[in-house]
């Protein structure tokens, strides 16, 4: 059974550092690894670190700091799961620990960034956890990765309160959304001004795609949309091999 708990002690923090180097997120080991003193600073300044343990060994973790947005919020700085234990719901459970922490501390929201080109992350954060995107793309947040690509990120936000009811998870395409396929079809002529609810089709697989060209196209399209819309969901329809970012007009 996987145990989830707060991390305080030195040996567990050092295990976390080693796991972070293993996960790496496409960076070098030195770039992906947080120093021990940084983790202690986060804890001493009011942040929280959760770990997921299997038979006493750390297999996932989250690191969150205190942030001041409109009001005090929790900023989920990092969340990682061992490559041997992905797709088991561990990331979701770690997030829920942070959500409960924020509620207990009477915070209003949680903020975090994620790779908009990662459909698994988008599906987890936007679809399963009810976050939304209100801000423009954060260009090249962590510099150039090992593949020579910019590390663009979406900044997600989740309003937290014990009184907020989360929408039910529905894996059906909503009837009142119009599809914009211009990300995958260069011939698409879609007028965003004529619609209030739009589904931007996203490739089901990014294999065999020129990523530099795709990132530029993604930037242009979402920079245009996020002036008038917010992102409210990400659907991954496995049977149909289709993915969509769902947007609503502000």
- What domains are there in the chain, each with its CATH number? 2-159 (3.40.630.30), 178-249 (no CATH)
pLDDT digits (tens, 9 = 90+) for 16-65: 999 998 887 766 666 667 899 999 999 999 999 999 999 999 999 999 99
Share of the chain above pLDDT 90, in %: 79
> What's the chain's average pLDDT?
92
125: pLDDT strictly greater than 90 = yes
DSSP the chain: -EEEEE--SHHHHHHHHHHHHHH-TTS-HHHHPPPHHHHHHHHHTT-EEEEEEETTEEEEEEEEEEEESSSEEEEEEEEEE-TTSTTSSHHHHHHHHHHHHHHHTT--EEEEEE-TT-HHHHIIIIIIS--EE-SPPBTTTT-B-TTS-B--BEEEEEE--TTPPPPPP--SPPTT-EEE-TTT-TT----GGG-SEEEEEE-S--TT--HHHHHHHHHHHHHHHTTTEEEEEEEEETTTTEEEEEEEE-
More confident residue, 185 or 59: 59
pLDDT value for 187: 64
pLDDT value for 48: 98
Predicted TM-score (pTM) of this structure: 0.90
pLDDT value for 28: 63
pLDDT digits (tens, 9 = 90+) for 188-213: 677 777 899 999 999 999 999 999 99
Share of the chain above pLDDT 70, in %: 96
pLDDT value for 23: 87
93: pLDDT strictly greater than 70 = yes
Closest C-alpha to 75, from 161, 182, 160, 179: 160
């Amino acid at each position: 059974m996987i145990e989830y708990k707060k991390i305080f002690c030195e040996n567990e923090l050092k295990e976390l550092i080693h796991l972070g180097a293993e996960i790496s997120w496409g960076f070098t080991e030195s770039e992906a690894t947080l120093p021990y003193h940084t983790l202690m600073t986060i804890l001493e300044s009011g942040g929280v670190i959760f770990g997921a343990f299997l038979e006493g060994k750390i297999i996932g973790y989250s690191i969150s700091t205190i942030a001041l947005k409109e009001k005090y919020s929790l900023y989920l700085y990092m969340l990682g799961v061992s490559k041997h234990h992905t797709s088991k719901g561990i990331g979701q459970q770690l997030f829920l620990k942070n959500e409960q922490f924020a509620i207990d501390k009477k915070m209003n929201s949680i903020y975090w960034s994620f790779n908009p080109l990662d459909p698994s992350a988008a599906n987890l954060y936007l679809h399963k956890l009810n976050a939304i995107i209100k801000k423009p793309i954060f260009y090249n947040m962590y510099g150039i990765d090992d593949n020579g690509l910019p590390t663009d990120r979406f900044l997600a936000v989740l309003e937290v309160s014990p009184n907020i009811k989360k929408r039910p998870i529905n894996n059906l395409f909503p009837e009142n959304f119009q599809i914009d396929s211009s990300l995958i079809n260069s011939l698409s002529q879609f007028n965003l001004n004529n619609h209030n609810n739009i589904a931007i089709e996203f490739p089901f697989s990014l294999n065999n795609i020129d990523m530099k060209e795709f990132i530029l196209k993604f930037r242009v399209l979402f920079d245009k949309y996020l002036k008038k819309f917010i992102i409210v969901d990400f659907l991954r329809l496995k049977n149909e091999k289709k993915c969509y970012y769902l947007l609503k007009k502000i």
